[in-house]
Copies of this chain bind each other. A is one copy, B any other.
Amino acid sequence: MALTLEQIAKQAGVSRSTVSRVVNDHCSVRTEVRERVLQVVRETGYQPHAAARSLVTRRSQIIGVVIPEAVTTLFIDPFFPLLLAGVTETCNAHRYHLMLSLFDRPAGQEEMYQHVLGSGYLDGVIVASFRLDEPLIPDLLEKGIPFVIVGHHPDKRVNYVDADNVGGARMAVEHLIRLGHRRIGIIAGPQNMPGSQDRLLGYHQALDAHRVPVEQALVAEGDFTESSGVTCTQQLLPAAPTAIFVANDAMAVGALRALRRAGLQVPQDVALIGYDDVPIAAAVEPALTTVRQPITRLGSMAAEVLIGILNSPNGAGGPPHKVILPTELVVRYSCGALRESPSRGQ
């Protein structure tokens, strides 16, 4: 069915090694012969059999993307799709294949990991996990499989690529401070996720830098769902915040709803800033001021770092890469910086 080196060799009247050399463009082959071989390759549409090649070279040109989180929940948020778009872009550019491993069931996860990592299919792995204690990490370290984490990780040896959550949160809160707010509440994310911790840290940093005292009654912890945004807002209201920084847009939408229900106007009575800049942020009324992360770049950067490591001479790729990409404040109408809502939707 599929052509083999041998058949191309016969057609071109050379040996199979010569064809191999041409295909992998080794220099040592007469241009005349090379042309003849290339001609046959083009005519026949020959492509080397990946498995056979990978068996001898020990490289598959496949990188794995492992997403251990409860997929169904997180996939309604465009984070993973955009991340994948970025990874894809880089993979395509470098002719790598991408193997996607999603795990929604914690049950049997350990076994699934083995299935994926032990198969020998993967040259390297990108891990998109939000848990510090992700069991995959020690596994990968032990097995010596090159990997890059999206998000950060305390272990000195790991490579990671992350968005500047601290800076993003600080930027948001400083924006509120600049607008004159002092009683600034926060609806933080789950504190077992490093990204959430960072955003809370950024909040503290901004307050400290401007000598605004931190008040515990102005700090609530949600779980990133819209409904937790509602309850956290209700929890914060007695402390009379004039502004709230919310650690993601979904919760910010909940906050918006809760504030409206409490008879408060946004941004007049309470200013609001979200995080992520998902589509819904622009769609609600008033449109949310929020912090945008370079999610797609995060993905392509992770792939770039990984492929860089894979292609490095010794395979180690030098000291661990720790990359932090900047975030961006998207000013809309929920923070009061822009006064009137112009016509929207083009």
Q: Using Cβ atoms and an 8 Å threshold, which residues of chain B touch A283?
A: 226, 253, 280, 283-284
In the bound assembly, the distance between CA atoms of A247 and B50 in angstroms comes to 43
CB pair B104–A89 under 8 Å, yes or no, is yes
CB of A85 within 8 Å of the partner chain: yes
Distance of A108 from chain B, by nearest CB (Å):
9
- Give the size category of A's interface with B: 35 or more
Chain B proximity mask over A90-119: 1 for CB below 8 Å, otherwise 0? 001001011111111100000010111011
Which B-chain residue is minimally distant from A85 (CB atoms)?
B71
Residues of B within 8 A of A261 (CB): 343
Give chain B residues whose Cβ lies under 8 Å from the Cβ of A97: 99, 101, 116, 119, 121
A89 / chain B contacts, CB cutoff of 8 Å: 104
**Is A82 an interface position by the 8 A CB rule?**
yes
Q: How many copies does the complex hold?
A: 2
Tell me whether A51 and B60 are in contact (CB under 8 A).
Answer: yes
Whether B75 pairs with A227 at a CB distance below 8 angstroms is: no
Query: Which residues from chain B contact A75 at a C-beta distance below 8 Å?
Result: 78, 81-82, 84-85
- Set B51, B65, B85, B346: member contacting A54, Cβ < 8 A: B51
Residues on the B chain within 8 Å of A144, using CB: 1
B296→A72 contact, CB < 8 A:
yes
- How far in angstroms is the closest Cβ of chain B from A106? 13
A114 touches B284 (CB 8 A): no
- Residue A180 lies at the interface, judged by CB distance under 8 Å to chain B: no
Q: Contact string, A258-302, partner B, CB cutoff 8 A, digits 1/0?
A: 100100000000000000000110011100000000001000000
A320 at the interface (CB under 8 A from B): no
Closest CB of chain B to A99's CB: distance in Å?
5
Q: Given contacts A60-B51, A95-B115, A345-B230, is CB(A102)–CB(B84) below 8 Å?
A: yes
Q: Which residues of A (330-346) have their CB < 8 Å from a CB of B?
A: 343-346
A52 within 8 A of B: yes
Could you tell me the distance between the alpha carbons of A3 and B76 in the complex, rounded to whole angstroms? 40
A104-B89, A280-B280, A346-B230 given as contacts; is B81 within 8 A of A76 (CB)?
Answer: yes
